[in-house]
Amino acid sequence: MELGLRGKVALITGAAKGMGGAITRAFVLEGCAVVIVGRDVTALEVLAGEIRATQPDAPILVHACDVTSAESAEQVMRVAVERFQQVDILVNVAGGTGPVGTTAWETTAEEFEQILTLNMTGCFNMMRAVLPGMIARRYGKIVNVGGTFGMHGRAGRMSYSASKWGLRGLTKSTAIEAGPYNINVNIVAPGMVDGDRFRSRVVPEVMKRLDCDEATAVAHHASDYALRRISLDTDVANACLFMASDVSRQITGVDLPVDGGWAAL
């Protein structure tokens, strides 16, 4: 199926690592110009170099951005427009995990505020920066990367869960407000994604608890999901492509869990 993304301009936050890198590569392969932003410019330049090694003509702009700063978000938007004239797509990947294994009463006010600022205010700042241009052109796609703990509470992850629940409200309300301007605003909500964190933290914990090998630990974790497999970063990237394309033109304000069947079942 032709997604019709060729020639579109996508602004992607948190692009340097993990899912962000996979999402960036996916948009480049679809023919998009990409503006990749984050705090770690060195890591972004490495990603851009890797992409250019196989696609030397790929239009990529790397720029520093602290999404928790409204001024930084607005400055990135100005730079993107100077280079590419417009931004058609915003993919908000930047985010954090917050305290892990900490109850609500053990979480400090500073820890709670920090993760809310990164996971919610960061998305708000970027949306606020891109929406005026999208409204003027009567076209835009915003994809916020949430998480399944924002659809299903989780003990020991209260701060993260709260931030992703809040992102849902931000997304749904903005979808209603921006809809009359032909702007779609949605959430892609990954569950556990196979990668460094899963292999270095989650799997060893399961291995220790069950006294088993790595393959058994992975299979045990996957047994919680209807499809009995762990998501890949490319699964999340493909969902973002779908939501950013006109193939999903009649979908807005929704949460799309990419978790093999857990949060929604």
Q: Convert the pLDDT of each residue in 106-125 to its tens digit.
A: 989 999 899 999 999 999 99
DSSP letter for each residue of 137-165: HT-EEEEEE--GGGTS--TTBHHHHHHHH
SS3 sequence of 18-56? HHHHHHHHHHHHCCCEEEEEECCHHHHHHHHHHHHHHCC
Task: Quote the Cα angle for 238-215-155, to 5°.
Answer: 70
Q: Exposed, middle or buried by CB within 10 Å (0-12, 13-18, 19+), for 265?
A: exposed
DSSP 255: E
Q: What pLDDT, on the 0 to 100 scale, is given for residue 2?
A: 82
Q: What pLDDT, on the 0 to 100 scale, is given for residue 155?
A: 85
Taking the C-alpha atoms of residue 192 and residue 201, their distance in angstroms, rounded to an integer, is 12
Q: Exposed, middle or buried by CB within 10 Å (0-12, 13-18, 19+), for 10?
A: buried
Q: If pLDDT is split at 50, 70 and 90, which confidence band does 156 have? A: confident
Token pair of 164 as six digits: 């992703």
CATH dotted code for 9-193+232-258: 3.40.50.720
Please state at what angle helix 122-137 crosses helix 70-84, rounded to 10 degrees.
40
pTM, whole model, 2 decimals? 0.95
The answer to whether 130 touches 90, Cβ cutoff 8 Å, is: yes
- For the stretch 7-32, pLDDT in tens is 999 999 999 888 999 999 999 999 99
Active site residues: 160
The answer to whether 30 touches 4, Cβ cutoff 8 Å, is: no
Token pair of 131 as six digits: 């929406």
List the 89-92 sheet strands across, edge first.
60-64, 33-38, 9-13, 89-92, 140-145, 183-190, 255-258
- For the stretch 217-259, pLDDT in tens is 999 989 989 999 999 999 999 999 999 999 999 999 999 999 9
Averaged pLDDT score across all residues of the chain: 94
Domain residue spans of the chain: 9-193+232-258, 194-230
